[in-house]
Structure 1
Amino acid sequence: MTRKLTALTATLALLATGCSASTDNTAPTGSPATPSTTTAPAPAPSTATQTPTVTEVNPTTATPTVSLDPSPLAGTGGGRQQPSSVPTLNTITDEDRARAIDAAKAIVTAYTSGKPYKEWSADLFPLIDAELQNQYNQNLRVDLLKGNVTSAELVDDPTLKIPGGDNPYWLTVHVKVDGGISPAYYVRLHRTAERPNKWKASHILEPQAYNTFVNSKAKNKN
């Protein structure tokens, strides 16, 4: 009997020891520990890769304001009228007449050159008025006009008479020609105050045509 109790006691002691060991090796229950996470700070933006924004400012030029005086001469009083800004010619000199004769000779020389029309017109047209140019078209037989200028002189043209003296704007030159269809031509020349040394032809007339022109002007005047 005693042996049975001893054996039972030993068995219980072993069981108690086993339970205690089992209890010590068991991990405690509960929520598992959460590992700590550290977030690294975001890197600062690099200024090397950034393009600065530049705003162009176009300078504006102010438009000056011009004040116009509606009466610029008010308060200046009376007095003599200022001369016109348009130039005028009041006299004609011997040099002017000599230039006119030279111009007439050059005009008739070009007119009687006998060159083909293209060259003929290129030489003549700069020396004559546009209205006269229009009278000479490509159908004109310029070869028949061929001749040689021999002399030139001023003539007293009654169509150019003005009261009080010689006409400072107009002259007529009689140019003689050897050969050609006419023995002479009357060249009526004019100039302007803007180009007083440049004489241009308004008419190149054969003697009969010139007489007709003068008579017509005289009739219209009467």
Structure 2
Amino acid sequence: MPLSVPGLPGLPPELAGPVAVELAKPVAAIPPAHALSGGCRYEPKWDGYRLVVVRTAASTRLWSKQGRDLTDRFPDIAAAALAQVPAGTVVDGEVVIWNGSRLDFGLLQRRMVTAPGRIAPLVAASPASYVAFDLLAAGGADLRGERWSRRRDELEVLAARWAPPLQLTPSTADPEEARRWFDDFRAAGSRGSSPRVRRPGTRRGAGNGSR
């Protein structure tokens, strides 16, 4: 697919990259289901780098939460996004690398300190995966003012067409299921003791709890 196609949707300037992201706050324990008005939704916290995928009509770029362009560090994720994410889309998530059955943060760090021209062997030996947890724009429209529940619904529709290395993070309204996740995922190297909690009925920024 060519990088630039006439007629594809663009993005508002503030979402064309770099993209400001909401940062979550830690809590001591998993809150009960009704700790927030409208209820809570729980997601695992993956042990990786926060990464925003910006798919414009002209390019696909990957941005860190600090506003750094990391496209050349994760060409495998950029290529997958180019092939599977429609133009006019912005996705928020986490990039991770699996080493066997465990997440390996050290392999992520190696990519960050390796010259772009030497990244290819690392990509071949240890491919990255991208775990999406929010949809900030679709079809060129800014979704940040929409309720999280609507953004999640649209993200699920989008992710239904994905194949690895792109994937959707699990989400549940059941705190007991969340506790099982955090115990199970901790063995795989996820930050199981640091859940992400959202308030489904609020707009972006109002419902992001612990992370």
TM over 0.5: no
Higher percent of residues as strand: 2
Normalising by structure 2, we get a TM-score of 0.26
Say which one has the larger Rg. 1
Q: Which has the higher contact order (CA 8 A, sep 6+)?
A: 2
Higher percent of residues as helix: 1
